[in-house]
């Protein structure tokens, strides 16, 4: 299967990063969102991030201009249907993803590969709601996409070998490294990472340490580049909670119970960097712990 054009559904943090790396690698990219403003913001973000890469000598000005020229936007699913590879990069809610797939299916070419950037939801179950479970896969990029090298490839029970090999080749063409994961809740990275962050929230909840001491302890004591609470804010506390719920529901083990404090922050709308407050308050010049 030759992939030349890519449709990215969802112009948020992950979607704009995915569009960025595909356009830079020479693919024609069609970015879709229900919000025109979100798509305009995504293109502006891609432009700014490419400028940063140019200033650091990682990308030439010519390559940047060519990448930007390869990105188009659309609100129409019919346009997305003409691409060779579709990547759903919407919010981490199964009902939202199923609605997206249902809306794009009537327009897809028979040979189009359909994928989800889900970080935790069953690929087999998502694929079963489509007309092409054999050409459906989990295509999980890490955040921030232009920087992180790993892409998790998750096969559903019906995914065929040709689809898998095609996506391995696509990942190689992006200059990234693929890791194959079995279709179990949260796959590899988030199965290990998110419960660690949830445990850090428990440490805060139980008063063992405050936000600053927890993050500094893991950065200086375990050589982590970011503390677990800082990282949770970066990912989005709503996303962390959604993944913990998938783990708890899917594996029925109490060790995956979301911390009540994490639930409370999400209920308050304090979702991290994207809302200005989470475990840190980002509304000033420097982040300040909220507990």
Give the residue numbers of the binding site for NAD(+).
Answer: 10-15, 33, 92, 97, 119, 143, 274
Among candidate residues 49, 116, 117, 119, the one labeled active-site is: 119
140: annotated active-site residue = yes
C-beta of residue 45 within 8 angstroms of C-beta of residue 70 = no
Query: Binding site, residues?
Result: 10-15, 33, 92, 97, 119, 143, 274
Among candidate residues 16, 88, 152, 230, the one labeled active-site is: 152
152: annotated active-site residue = yes
> Measuring CA to CA, which residue among 68, 50, 72 is closest to residue 5?
72
Among candidate residues 140, 178, 230, 248, the one labeled active-site is: 140
DSSP type of residue 259 = P
Among candidate residues 116, 122, 190, 198, the one labeled active-site is: 190
Cis peptide before 274 (omega within 30 of 0): no
Stated length of the chain: 291
DSSP 40-76: HHHHHHHHHHHHHHHHTTSS-HHHHHHHHHTEEEES-
Q: For 4, phi and psi rounded to 5 degrees? A: -120, -30
What is the H or E stretch that residue 20 is in?
Answer: helix 13-24
Distance CA 39, CA 11 (A): 6
98: annotated active-site residue = no
Q: What is the separation, in whole angstroms, between the first and last Cα of the chain? A: 52
Q: Which residues are catalytic?
A: 119, 140, 152, 190
């Amino acid at each position: 299967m030759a992939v030349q054009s890519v449709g990215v559904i969802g112009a948020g943090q992950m979607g704009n990063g995915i569009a960025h790396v595909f356009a830079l690698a020479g693919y024609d990219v069609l970015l879709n969102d229900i919000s025109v403003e979100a798509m305009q913001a995504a293109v502006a973000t891609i432009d700014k991030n490419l400028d940063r890469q140019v200033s650091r000598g990682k990308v030439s000005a010519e390559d940047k201009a060519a990448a930007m020229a390869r990105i188009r936007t659309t609100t129409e699913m019919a346009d997305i249907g003409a691409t060779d590879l579709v990547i759903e990069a919407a919010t981490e809610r199964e009902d939202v993803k199923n609605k997206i797939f249902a809306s794009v299916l009537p327009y897809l070419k028979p040979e189009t590969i359909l994928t989800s950037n889900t970080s935790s939801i069953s690929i087999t179950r998502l694929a079963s709601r489509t007309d092409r479970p054999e050409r459906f896969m989990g295509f999980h990029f890490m955040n921030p996409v232009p920087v992180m090298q790993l892409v998790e490839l998750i096969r559903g029970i019906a995914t065929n070998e040709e689809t898998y090999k095609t996506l391995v080749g696509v990942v190689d063409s992006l200059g990234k490294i693929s890791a194959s994961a079995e279709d179990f809740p949260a796959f590899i990275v988030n199965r290990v990472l998110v419960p660690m962050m949830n445990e850090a929230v428990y440490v805060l909840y139980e008063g063992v340490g405050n936000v600053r001491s927890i993050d500094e302890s893991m950065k200086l004591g375990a050589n982590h580049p970011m503390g677990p609470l800082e990282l949770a804010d970066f990912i989005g506390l709503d996303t962390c909670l959604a993944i913990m719920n998938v783990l708890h529901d899917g594996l029925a083990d109490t060790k995956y119970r979301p911390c009540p404090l994490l639930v409370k922050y999400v209920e308050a709308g304090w979702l991290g960097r994207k809302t200005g407050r989470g475990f840190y308050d980002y509304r000033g010049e420097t982040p300040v712990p909220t507990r």
